[in-house]
Chain A
Amino acid sequence: KAGVTQTPRYLIKTRGQQVTLSCSPISGHRSVSWYQQTPGQGLQFLFEYFSETQRNKGNFPGRFSGRQFSNSRSEMNVSTLELGDSALYLCASSLLLVTGATDTQYFGPGTRLTVL
């Protein structure tokens, strides 16, 4: 079974630009979560989508947004990029992540975003 895929793997942008990252979950997985990973803060939760609806959101500014399509693929968008947005952005998928269930999240390889 194919794992979680993320594109692009590497991205270089300048301040003020916007960027869109893509994530394809494991086949059959309906929940997609996004995380930002930096050396200082570790893995921080951005948001989670299930059946095209955002179910959960972390403490990030509105410049960070996302969406999920009917085939469970997800995109994440960051507008008006800042230097501090440089990070590894990770996508994870799980079957359901619903109430009472303890679903394992499987991670993709990440997109390394560098903002100059």
Chain B
Amino acid sequence: EDQVTQSPEALRLQEGESSSLNCSYTVSGLRGLFWYRQDPGKGPEFLFTLYSAGEEKEKERLKATLTKKESFLHITAPKPEDSATYLCAVLAHSGGSNYKLTFGKGTLLTVNP
């Protein structure tokens, strides 16, 4: 069964203190890895898609990287508005011609001013 594990479960940073979130996965037939941001009471907001090991994508203070077993979301000089839950999801083969998105439980990031 596909597994996606995110760590840490919660992370508290000071404004400007850079760090990384981890997403490790065990799936067969990975087709893509997604990062989402979710604010309280809202639906997940799409951030990045990574397709193959070695790929990197950046958006403002966020940078996502992918290896064959894990992905990292690097946050450089975070601001309080970056506080949210960050979700990782993998799209993998689920039988026949179907694919399924499996989510990790997320990392709750809090950035203090």
Chain A residues with CB under 8 Å of B51's CB are 102
Q: Is A64 an interface residue (CB 8 A)?
A: no
User: A11 an interface residue at 8 Å Cβ cutoff?
Assistant: no
A105 lies within 8 A of B99 (CB): no
Interface of B is mostly: strand
Neighbouring A residues of B102 by C-beta, 8 Å: 45
Tell me the nearest residue of chain B to A105, going by C-beta: B101
Q: Contact mask A19-54 → B, CB, 8 Å, 1/0?
A: 000000000000001010000011111001000000
Asked whether A102 and B100 contact (CB < 8 A) given A107-B43, A109-B42, the answer is: no
CA A107 to CA B32, docked complex, whole Å: 17
How many A residues are at the interface, by size bracket? 20 to 34
Q: Please, which residue of chain A has its CB at the minimum distance from the CB of B98?
A: A56
Considering the complex, give the chain B residue whose CB is closest to the CB of A107. B43
Give the interface segment out of B19-27, B58-66, B103-111. Answer: B103-111
In the assembled complex, the Cα of A101 lies from the Cα of B101 at a distance in Å of 12
A99, B99: Cβ atoms closer than 8 Å: yes
| Residue B49 lies at the interface, judged by CB distance under 8 Å to chain A | yes
Q: Is B106 in contact with A108, judged by CB distance below 8 angstroms?
A: no
Q: How far is the CB of B47 from chain A (nearest CB, A)?
A: 10
A66 at the interface (CB under 8 A from B): no
Q: Which residues of A contact B (CB under 8 A)?
A: 4, 33, 35, 41-45, 48, 55-56, 58, 90, 92, 97-102, 104-110, 112
Instruction: List 8 A-B pairs, minimum CB-CB distance, nearest first.
Output: A107-B43, A102-B32, A42-B105, A43-B103, A99-B97, A107-B44, A56-B98, A109-B43
